[in-house]
């Protein structure tokens, strides 16, 4: 039992949309794996690419999920567009570090999309379980 | 130790980190800075004469190869 | 004269009018007939023409409002009568019995599973989805349970199953259930009343002829919205009542003078095809009248998205196989697996009842709509009673918002002398001084939340673990943290300088917990909420050990962040109590007049020699306004003038009024752009458009802030737009636009200072080298690059404008030098959170 690998996923959720979606998944009692740990940020644009890269290259998580508002819905107008650009750069950097692309995911999830948050949480946990632990984990 | 940055009249001014023994020397420097287009403020604090400056940059040039994310 | 306003109807218009009025210093009572607020906006999925998510947009506003001490929400209540006159009304309101005391109910939901009466169709979902006899009306505030007296066996027969005591009463720890509750009449004494009772779909024989109520899988547009909504009965997956997911869906828009119906169909069709690109989606309509460019653009987008639009005035319906609907139109046939009807709109039952009760005039359809040119659409025959939103006439959400702002400005003008007289003063607080170097001493309060948290987790294990965390000095378990008792009692000992709450969500409870924290004597920014409920027990309820492990991780994460938190003070920005309105046309005049009537100083600048000279102003309404304007000493009209440079920021602008006879420099707190396309500033006098970062689109209209709730706002704080500056509109609409903008302005300049959260950006001058990467990405354009002298060298750094920074953190995440951070969201907080997930150092 203790040998079975359980991936650790850190999910950065923006206060206005995706954090609310995770909340509403709770209100609806939708179930998803406890592998996902949410960190609240005010905007997906608040997430420095270093947080993601350090978390992965220091073996703090097996996967990182970045969630924000749909384009056009950002509470700060276009913070999420910044996040989108950074996500592209992060995806390229993952390759350089020998990290599989499944270990980072960007999703736009609106406040009423609790079911989508759950779906993403389940899918990512499944994918990372199959993939195996982060090679940078000690 | 004086603050590197001070807000005066709602604007951010930066200390030049120089020591001026007399007010006249401080004022002379102030004039020199103003000739170069800086806004200036003179602050007297505990027998020290502190010179603060600022100049808004309107043309932002990102260095070659700079990659703001 | 009273300094308060009663608003009837808590849909988008009612809620917006409430927010505008509180912001201008008036107390608000918001009466809503349903048990929860939000109106139709709470029921729809996406809004046209912006395709924004309705819930995401409205929920933050609802939470702001409901936590404001100057707002009283009276839900599940009806207005029974209004006596008195403008400035002093007595409004009788009848509160319907919930059979639950809302002051005691904590929304723990322990009562739901034990109630034996279920399967009651949900009214909020138009009959889809079911609830128990004790239930929440909708997912929206106020989140208080109520009992259906027509289904609860204890209310009907005096017994519940074979139990002596009804199980709901047994499990309710706060003892909130009150079967003996009776309707209660209350009277509110207010200065003005605003009616915002909305609209409903008109369900007539015309719908029945199209299969509604007869064939399965024929729905109305609102019913379909509930299927699209992630908070609806099918979790956002469009399903028929037989559980099948339809692959071909057709809409039929019944003939409708307003474009609202057609746009609703377009929005729903778009929402459907976005989720299911392979679906066959068709919209049948009798006529289109799009009226607006943005509506037309949305329609064109929809056409390009594989949605079929078919014009027909002859459509008939027959039952198909397997619950399908066979449509015949113009000799063609079409098989739809689901058929959605978009009927015209009718006034709500509430509007009909109220108009009779109050003896108010309505049009042939029952809306508070005047057809004569002499009466202002916002006014009723009774002075001091105003209307706005779809109750006045069916309209889209952004138009409802503008009318709500206009109604607020009318009420504010009426009640100007009594502004701030009824506001609740903030409570006295004695806050513990905490310095950054002080050793953290953490109080942990773990909330049982009824059984929501305690029922699943191994609480003993969690408590022991929390005790072992660094800096935790005491762990207190409490049945309901939100009542504040445990928090205040323990904080008052002054033994702690940090508080972590293991409970529910900061999104719903941050304001409340912040209040308890401060009443206990601790700065609110030293408090951390750990979401053990929505993000743990509620979503991992089948695995107690895993849920408990995760709860421990979440507490560890929260504690590590709490240890680094700092005491922070609110930011105060002084405000110059004056406004500049640029453009002496109908909207500019209306704006300036309402501001003057509200007792606020305003400059109105126009290029003509006389306001009456402008062609649009040669209108009965406008001429009357000009006369009033000229006799209002708060309004300073500057004709034959232009606006040159405008420097500064919200609350603190300085503008140059340029005239041949000499320039005038004025200080104002806010600017309104009411100009038409042709009034462009000349470059040698300075360009206020460039100074204020205003942009125009290809039709020369000004581009504003994104979002359907912000039609009058620019992205630049403190600057607003109205009338022909933002789009082509008739004179009456331009007047309402201008009045709406007056309300936006008054929300700023009626205050001596703006108070804002300190969670905004701070530059670290020791680290910032002026690379300027952060400047352009800032969505609020709050950052300026400055040069300065340091020991004979020119150095650079960034200046953050704390008045306009919104704390989004884009700058912090762009900076390669750790030269800028957002207070309360410092990079080190994110680091410790990330590192503490695995629990390793």
**Which domains are seen in chain A, by residue range?**
9-131 (3.40.50)
**C139 inside 8 A of chain A by CB:** yes
Residue C63's nearest CA partner among A15, A118, A107, A40 is A15
C766 with C723, same domain?
no
C246 neighbors C218 (Cβ within 8 angstroms): no
> What CATH number is attached to the domain comprising C22?
3.50.50.60
pLDDT score of C840: 53
C320 with C288, same domain?
yes
Helix (H, G, I), strand (E, B) or coil at C778: coil
C295 with C390, same domain?
no
* Burial tier of C698 (Cβ tally within 10 Å: 0-12, 13-18, 19+): exposed
Residues linked to residue C478 through DSSP beta bridges, in sequence order: C447
Helix (H) or strand (E) segment spanning residue C274: helix C260-275
Residues of chain C with pLDDT under 70: 370-373, 677-686, 840-841
pLDDT score of A39: 98
Cα–Cα distance list, C397 to A110, B24, C14, C430 (Å): 19, 65, 12, 43
What confidence tens digit (pLDDT) does each residue in C591-624 have?
Answer: 999 999 999 999 999 999 999 988 889 988 999 9
pLDDT score of C819: 97
> What CATH number is attached to the domain comprising C775?
3.30.70.20
pLDDT score of C371: 54
pTM to 2 decimals?
Answer: 0.85
Helix (H) or strand (E) segment spanning residue C351: helix C349-358
Chain-chain contact of B60 with C773 (C-beta, under 8 angstroms): no
Residues from chain C contacting residue A37 (CB–CB below 8 Å)? 550, 553-554, 557, 837
Domain membership of residue C256 (yes or no) is yes
User: What is d(CA C378, CA C386) in angstroms, rounded to the nearest whole number?
Assistant: 5
From the list C652, C776, C790, which residue is nearest B17 (CB)?
A: C790
Least Cα separation, residue B57 to chain C (angstroms): 5
Chains that touch B (3 or more CB pairs under 8 A): A, C
**B56 inside 8 A of chain C by CB:** yes
User: What is d(CA A117, CA A19) in angstroms, rounded to the nearest whole number?
Assistant: 9
Chain-chain contact of B68 with C796 (C-beta, under 8 angstroms): no
C744 with C785, same domain?
no
Residue ranges making up the domain that contains C317: 203-338
Six-digit token pair at C290?
């799009």
Six-digit token pair at B16?
């030049």
Sorted by sequence, the CB contacts under 8 Å of residue C335 that are 6+ apart come out as C248, C320, C324, C325, C326, C327
Locate the chain C residue with the closest alpha carbon to B60. C772
Six-digit token pair at B24?
């006249």
Residues from chain A contacting residue C808 (CB–CB below 8 Å)? 42-43, 45-46, 75-76, 79
C307 with C218, same domain?
yes
Q: How many helices (H) and strands (E) does chain B have?
A: 1, 4
pLDDT score of A1: 41
From the list A27, A28, A34, which residue is nearest C547 (CB)?
A: A34
Chain-chain contact of C806 with A76 (C-beta, under 8 angstroms): yes
Its sign, for the CA torsion C356, C399, C296, C673, is positive
Residue B67 has pLDDT above 70, yes or no: no
What confidence tens digit (pLDDT) does each residue in C205-255 have?
Answer: 999 999 999 999 999 999 999 999 888 999 888 999 999 999 999 999 998
Residue from C763, C776, C786, C810 to probe the interface with B (highest B Cβ count within 10 Å): C786
C362 neighbors C377 (Cβ within 8 angstroms): no
**C531 inside 8 A of chain A by CB:** yes
User: What is d(CA A38, CA A41) in angstroms, rounded to the nearest whole number?
Assistant: 10
Domain membership of residue C65 (yes or no) is yes
Mean pLDDT score, A81-90: 96
**B5 inside 8 A of chain C by CB:** yes
C590 with C735, same domain?
yes
Residues from chain A contacting residue C531 (CB–CB below 8 Å)? 23, 38
How many residues are present in chain B? 69
Chain-chain contact of C236 with A69 (C-beta, under 8 angstroms): no
Average pLDDT of chain C to the nearest whole number:
93
Instruction: Bin C249: left if φ > 0, else alpha if -120 < ψ < 50, else beta.
Output: beta
pLDDT score of A2: 47
Number of domains in chain C: 6
Q: Where are the alpha helices (DSSP H) in A6-138?
A: 18-27, 49-57, 79-96, 114-131
Residues from chain B contacting residue C784 (CB–CB below 8 Å)? 56-57
User: What is d(CA C749, CA C18) in angstroms, rounded to the nearest whole number?
Assistant: 18
C194 with C254, same domain?
no
Residue from B25, B29, B37, B55 to probe the interface with C (highest C Cβ count within 10 Å): B55
Chain-chain contact of A26 with C538 (C-beta, under 8 angstroms): yes
Six-digit token pair at C48?
């046209």
Domain membership of residue C692 (yes or no) is yes
Least Cα separation, residue C796 to chain B (angstroms): 9
Domain membership of residue C523 (yes or no) is yes
C494 with C555, same domain?
yes
Chain centre to alpha carbon of residue C117: 35
* Burial tier of C841 (Cβ tally within 10 Å: 0-12, 13-18, 19+): exposed
C699 with C582, same domain?
yes
**A40 inside 8 A of chain B by CB:** no
């Amino acid at each position: 039992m203790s040998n079975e690998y359980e991936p650790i996923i850190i999910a950065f959720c923006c206060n206005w949309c995706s954090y609310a979606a995770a909340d509403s998944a709770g209100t609806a009692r939708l179930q998803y794996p406890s592998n996902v740990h949410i960190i609240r940020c005010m905007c997906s644009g608040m997430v420095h690419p270093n947080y993601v890269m350090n978390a992965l290259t220091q073996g703090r998580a097996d996967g990182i999920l970045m969630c924000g508002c749909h384009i056009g819905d950002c509470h700060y107008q276009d913070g999420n567009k910044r996040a989108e650009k950074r996500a592209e750069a992060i995806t390229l950097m993952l390759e350089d570090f020998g990290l599989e692309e499944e270990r980072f995911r960007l999703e736009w999830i609106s406040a009423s999309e609790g079911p989508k948050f759950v779906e993403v949480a389940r899918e990512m946990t499944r994918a990372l379980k199959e993939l195996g632990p982060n090679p940078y984990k000690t | 130790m004086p603050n590197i940055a001070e807000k005066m009249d709602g604007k951010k001014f930066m200390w030049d980190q120089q020591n001026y023994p007399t007010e006249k020397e401080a004022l002379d420097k102030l004039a020199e800075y103003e000739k170069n287009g800086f806004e200036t403020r003179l602050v007297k604090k505990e027998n020290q004469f502190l010179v603060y400056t600022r100049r808004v940059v309107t043309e932002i040039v990102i260095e070659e190869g700079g990659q703001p994310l | 004269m009273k300094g308060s306003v009663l608003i009837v109807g808590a849909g988008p218009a009612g809620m917006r009018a409430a927010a505008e009025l509180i912001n201008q210093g008036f107390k608000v009572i918001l009466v809503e007939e349903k048990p929860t607020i939000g109106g139709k906006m709470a029921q729809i999925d996406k809004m046209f023409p912006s395709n924004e998510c309705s819930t995401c947009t409205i929920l933050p506003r609802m939470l702001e409002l409901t936590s404001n001490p100057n707002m009283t929400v009276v839900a599940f209540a009806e207005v029974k009568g209004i006596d008195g006159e403008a400035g002093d009304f007595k409004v009788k309101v009848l509160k319907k019995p919930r059979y639950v005391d809302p002051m005691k109910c904590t929304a723990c939901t322990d009562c739901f599973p034990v109630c034996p009466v279920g399967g009651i169709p949900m009214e909020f979902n138009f009959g889809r989805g079911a609830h128990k006899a004790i239930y929440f009306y909708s997912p929206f505030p106020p989140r208080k349970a109520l009992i259906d007296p027509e289904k609860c066996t204890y209310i009907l027969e005096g017994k519940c199953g074979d139990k002596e005591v009804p199980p709901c009463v047994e499990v309710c720890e706060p003892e909130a259930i009150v079967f003996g509750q009776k309707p209660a009449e209350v009277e509110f004494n207010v200065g003005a009343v605003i009616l915002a009772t909305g609209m409903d779909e008109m369900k007539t024989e015309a719908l029945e002829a199209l299969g509604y109520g007869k064939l399965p899988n024929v729905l109305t547009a609102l019913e379909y919205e509930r299927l699209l909504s992630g908070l609806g009965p099918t979790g956002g997956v469009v399903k028929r009542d037989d559980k099948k997911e339809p692959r071909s869906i057709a809409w039929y828009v019944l003939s409708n003078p307003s474009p609202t119906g057609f746009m609703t169909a377009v929005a729903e069709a778009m929402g459907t095809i976005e989720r299911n690109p392979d679906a066959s989606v068709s919209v049948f309509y009798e006529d289109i009248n799009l009226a607006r460019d943005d509506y037309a653009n949305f329609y064109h987008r929809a056409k390009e998205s594989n949605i079929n639009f078919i014009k027909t005035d002859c459509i008939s319906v027959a039952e198909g196989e397997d619950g399908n609907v066979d449509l015949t139109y113009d000799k063609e046939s079409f098989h739809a697996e689901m058929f959605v009807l978009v009927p015209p709109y009718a006034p709500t039952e509430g509007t009909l009842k109220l108009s009779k009760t109050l003896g108010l005039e309505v049009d042939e359809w029952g809306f508070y709509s005047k057809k004569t040119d002499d009466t202002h659409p916002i006014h009723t025959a009774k002075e001091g009673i105003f209307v706005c939103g779809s109750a006045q006439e069916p309209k889209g959400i952004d138009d409802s918002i503008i009318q709500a702002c206009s109604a607020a400005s009318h009420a504010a003008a009426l009640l100007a002398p009594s502004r701030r007289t009824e506001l609740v003063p903030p409570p006295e607080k004695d806050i513990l001084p905490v310095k950054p170097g002080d050793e953290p001493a953490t109080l942990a309060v773990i909330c049982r939340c009824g059984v929501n948290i305690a029922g699943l987790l191994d609480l003993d294990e969690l408590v022991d673990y929390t005790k072992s965390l660094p800096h935790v000095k005491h762990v207190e378990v409490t049945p309901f943290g939100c009542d504040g008792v445990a928090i205040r009692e323990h904080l008052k000992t002054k033994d702690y300088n940090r508080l972590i709450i293991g409970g529910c969500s900061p999104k719903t409870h941050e304001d409340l917990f912040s209040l308890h924290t401060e009443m206990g004597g601790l700065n609110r920014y030293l408090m951390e909420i750990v979401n053990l409920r929505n993000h743990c027990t509620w979503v991992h309820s089948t695995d107690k050990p895993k849920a408990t492990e995760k709860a421990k991780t979440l507490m560890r994460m929260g504690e590590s962040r709490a240890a680094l938190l700092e005491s922070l003070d609110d930011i105060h920005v002084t405000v110059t109590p004056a406004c500049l309105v640029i453009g002496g046309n109908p909207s500019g005049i209306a704006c300036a007049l309402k501001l003057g009537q509200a007792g606020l100083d305003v400059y109105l600048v126009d290029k003509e020699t006389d306001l009456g000279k402008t062609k649009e102003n040669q209108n009965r309404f406008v001429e009357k306004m000009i006369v009033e304007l000229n006799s209002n000493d708060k309004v300073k009209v500057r004709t034959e003038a232009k606006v040159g440079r405008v420097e500064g920021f919200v609350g603190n602008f300085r503008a140059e009024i340029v005239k041949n006879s000499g320039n005038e420099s004025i200080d104002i707190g806010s600017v309104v752009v009411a100009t038409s396309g042709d009034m462009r500033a000349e470059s040698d006098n300075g360009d206020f458009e460039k100074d204020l970062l205003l942009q125009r689109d290809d039709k020369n209209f000004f581009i504003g802030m994104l979002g359907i709730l912000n039609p009058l706002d620019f992205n630049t704080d403190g600057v607003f737009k109205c009338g022909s500056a933002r789009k082509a509109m008739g004179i009456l609409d331009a007047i309402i636009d201008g009045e709406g903008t007056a309300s936006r302005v008054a929300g700023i300049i009626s205050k001596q200072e703006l108070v804002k959260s300190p969670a905004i950006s701070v530059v670290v001058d020791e680290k910032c080298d002026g690379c300027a990467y952060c400047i352009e990405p800032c969505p609020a354009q709050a950052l300026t690059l400055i040069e300065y002298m340091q020991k004979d060298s020119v150095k650079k750094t960034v200046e953050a404008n704390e008045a306009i920074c919104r704390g989004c953190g884009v700058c912090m995440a762009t900076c390669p030098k750790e030269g800028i951070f957002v207070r309360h969201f410092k990079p080190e907080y994110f680091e410790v959170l990330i590192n503490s997930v695995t629990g390793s150092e």
